[in-house]
Amino acid sequence: MKTVKYSLVFLVGLFTTLAFNSCTNDDGYSLDKYMVEIATVTPIDSVAGTYYLTLDNGETLWPVSSTSYFVPKNNQRVIVDFTLLSDKIGEYDHYARINQIQNILTKNVVDLTPENKEEIGNDPIKVLSLWTGDNFLNIRYGYNTGGEKAHFINLVKNKLDETSVSKDGTITLEFRHNKNGDPEKYGVNNYVAFDLKPFRTESKDSLKFIIKVLDFGGETKEYPITYKY
């Protein structure tokens, strides 16, 4: 029943849907066209509140106007609804109007140890999609909730498992969920981004990961993914 409850509320996201396909085209720019993407924030001036955004494809946006109040935080991941205003100007790929911007959960990968095992938890969670972009592992996920207690979401390297790094260098990470005893009444979904930069080495330009997840029904699923940098 848990999976059924979740599926009834399938894909109600922060902006209803996250549209990775552009509503723009190559014929020019128009104020009635927009795109919705995940991006990384880089502050420029903390006093002035200026910042630029890096999309997952590496392109940078300089916000020249915004309809949303936003306090930039370094290395913060956001969902941004924007309208392109120009081609490349100076060091930025586009000038853009920010129609809406909202932080998403942005975290580091943590070690799973005997001391934090209970806090990390291992309750079922559904992975809807996952991909790498701008040095982050992005996951769209869903779980059941009663809205009474906060849920914890983490990506961990299991120090209790000696096989977390294979002989060929593949790193196994576990996507963990702790519902904190919250009753399961309805399904929700959201986004989270995990910083992969600490895993980079100078001797390689890419790393292979396996993301393990305890799905509904007690099934453990594995998602292979390659992080190129």
pLDDT at 181 over 50: yes
The domain boundary, picked from 103, 126, 158, lies at: 103
Which DSSP symbol is given to 122?
A: -
Q: What is the per-residue pLDDT across 136-166, written as a single tens digit (0 to 9) for each?
A: 999 999 999 999 999 999 999 999 887 788 8
Q: What is the per-residue pLDDT across 117-129, written as a single tens digit (0 to 9) for each?
A: 999 999 999 999 9
Which pLDDT belongs to residue 1?
37
Between the two ends of the chain, the Cα-to-Cα distance in Å is 41
Closest by CA position to 190, among listed 125, 111, 146: 125
The whole domain housing 45 covers 35-103
The domain boundary, picked from 54, 87, 103, lies at: 103
60 and 133 share one domain: no
Task: Out of 30-39, 41-50, 209-218, pick the least confident.
Answer: 30-39
Pairs from 23-29 (Cβ < 8 Å, separation ≥ 24)? 24/84, 29/83, 29/84, 29/85, 29/86
Considering its fold, how many domains does the chain have in total? 2
65 and 121 share one domain: no
170 and 150 share one domain: yes
Which pLDDT belongs to residue 15?
43
97 and 125 share one domain: no
d(CA 91, CA 103): 24
Distances 174 to 91, 155, 178, 184 between C-alpha atoms, Å: 38, 6, 13, 22
Q: What is the CATH number of the domain that holds 91?
A: 2.40.50.500
Which pLDDT belongs to residue 9?
37
Q: What is the per-residue pLDDT across 188-197, written as a single tens digit (0 to 9) for each?
A: 999 999 999 9
What's this model's pTM, rounded to 2 decimal places?
A: 0.85
81 and 141 share one domain: no
113 and 96 share one domain: no
The domain boundary, picked from 68, 103, 138, lies at: 103
